[in-house]
Amino acid sequence: MAKTRTLIRPTAFVDSPFGHDGKVARLAGGLNWFASAELIHPDGRRELCAVEGIESRFDDDLAAQWAALTSPRAPLVLGNRRIALDQPQVMGIVNVTPDSFSDGGQFADSAAAAEAGATMAAAGAAIIDVGGESTRPGAAMVWEGDEIERIAPVIRQLATGGAAVSVDTRKADVMTAALAAGARLVNDVSALTFDPRATEVVAAAAVPVVLMHHLGDPQTMQDDPRYDDVLVEVYDWLETRIAAAAKAGISRDKILIDPGFGFGKTVAHNLALMNGLALFHSLGCPLVIGASRKRTIGALSNEAPADQRLAGSLAFALKAAEQGAQIIRVHDVPEAVQALKVWRGLRDQALTPRV
């Protein structure tokens, strides 16, 4: 894919903006300030630029990227809930599947699954993401009717109890059933590319949607994925998907983006995405990231199995927070919430002017 433009990746994060007027910029209205940006040129060249005076380098396109990068994100409205996006929020995972890779088959029935979701909400998860089809590498497809039967009662019970619920699905009919059951956010790992009717369902319901990058389909996505520059290619792909969704009538302020950790990526690709995550804020959408219990953690820790990847999951959650990710999708909610509260305490201390 030909790259024709320069991108801006925030880097050199500082503890505090105080005393650094004009030398630092605030990332997406959140808790992070940065002193430099890496300009990623079309030929792949990286150029480090101080924030001070960086405007002198801007053409119209870079000025628009900069405005998106440094403007606050509006709160996410899910039914009668408002989720502030000026700080990282936790999305708790409830998989109602017999074969999810890390927690498959853990629930005896829908009441037990809903109970687990309610416990996550009580522990501080802002959103509960309910899914009925495993999208792990090599997973088989699930028939819509089965998927609906698995998730609808769980969503209904959680929504009735007051939780903000998202539905993890790629299928229009499942989205429709989930929205009728009370889900208020669609999390589509195919970014509305899997089911030709999914876009209209989301547009008509006027609910927010997470558009996630992936390469290939779940059956084959881990067969030798290749990129020339994973960060730039995922960025361009998400930008194209945002434009397509907007053209189809989904309001831009209802679009969230996710680089799709583990979806058609090698360990090196995943790490490059995590290190460069702040780049994606110039797309102007809240950023969702899910690395919880994923294989990259095993690859970096002597092949620890999925149920022994909590510490690595927390390391990635903190890295994501540091790069301004607004929503962090996790299995282990109390642990992630605690880690982020400590991170938040550190940020608040640094952001309190000395007296």
Residues annotated as catalytic (active site), given as ranges:
294, 329
CB of 42 to ligand 8Y7, least distance (A): 28
Residue type, 136: R
How many CB atoms lie under 10 A from the CB of residue 351? 13
Determine, following the binding rule CB under 6 A, whether residue 147 of this chain makes contact with ligand 8Y7.
Answer: no
Determine, following the binding rule CB under 6 A, whether residue 189 of this chain makes contact with ligand 8Y7.
Answer: yes
Q: According to CB under 6 A, which one of 170, 269, 281, 329 is a site residue for ligand 8Y7?
A: 329
Q: According to CB under 6 A, which one of 30, 88, 92, 131 is a site residue for ligand 8Y7?
A: 131
Nearer to ligand 8Y7, 89 or 187 (CB): 187
* Residue 13, strand partner residues: 34
Please tell me the distance from the alpha carbon of residue 76 to that of residue 74, in angstroms, as a whole number: 6
Nearer to ligand 8Y7, 309 or 347 (CB): 309
Report CA-CA distances (Å) from 82 to 79, 122, 156, 253, 283.
Answer: 8, 16, 19, 14, 22
Q: According to CB under 6 A, which one of 34, 261, 280, 343 is a site residue for ligand 8Y7?
A: 261
Residues 230-249 touching ligand 8Y7, rule: CB under 6 A, are none
Binding mask 160-179 for ligand 8Y7 (x = CB under 6 A): --------x-----------
Residues 90-109 touching ligand 8Y7, rule: CB under 6 A, are 93
Please tell me the distance from the alpha carbon of residue 185 to that of residue 305, in angstroms, as a whole number: 31
Stretch that binds ligand 8Y7, among 131-139, 227-235, 238-246, 314-322 (CB under 6 A): 131-139
Q: How many residues does the chain have?
A: 355
Determine, following the binding rule CB under 6 A, whether residue 280 of this chain makes contact with ligand 8Y7.
Answer: no
- Helix (H) or strand (E) segment spanning residue 300: helix 295-300
Closest-approach residue to ligand 8Y7 (CB): 290
Q: According to CB under 6 A, which one of 157, 187, 199, 222 is a site residue for ligand 8Y7?
A: 187
Report CA-CA distances (Å) from 47 to 7, 50, 188, 233.
Answer: 10, 10, 34, 18
- The residue with tokens 């991108």 is 7
Total residues interacting with ligand 8Y7, rule: CB under 6 A: 16
Q: With CA atoms as reference, report the closest residue to 85 among 77, 96, 95, 94.
A: 77
Residues 210-229 touching ligand 8Y7, rule: CB under 6 A, are 210, 212
Q: According to CB under 6 A, which one of 28, 125, 288, 320 is a site residue for ligand 8Y7?
A: 288
Please tell me the distance from the alpha carbon of residue 199 to that of residue 175, in angstroms, as a whole number: 10
Positive or negative, the CA dihedral 138, 306, 268, 262 is: positive
Q: With beta carbons less than 8 A apart as the criterion, state whether 314 and 98 touch.
A: no
Determine, following the binding rule CB under 6 A, whether residue 269 of this chain makes contact with ligand 8Y7.
Answer: no
Determine, following the binding rule CB under 6 A, whether residue 258 of this chain makes contact with ligand 8Y7.
Answer: yes
**Exposure pattern of 53-81 as b/e (b: 16+ CB <10 Å)?**
ebeeeeeeebeebbebbbeebeebbbeee
CB of 89 to ligand 8Y7, least distance (A): 13
Rg of the chain, C-alpha, whole Å = 20
Stretch that binds ligand 8Y7, among 29-37, 38-46, 254-262, 347-355 (CB under 6 A): 254-262
Nearer to ligand 8Y7, 165 or 288 (CB): 288
Contact residues: ligand 8Y7, CB under 6 A:
93, 131, 135-136, 168, 187, 189, 210, 212, 258, 260-261, 288, 290, 294, 329
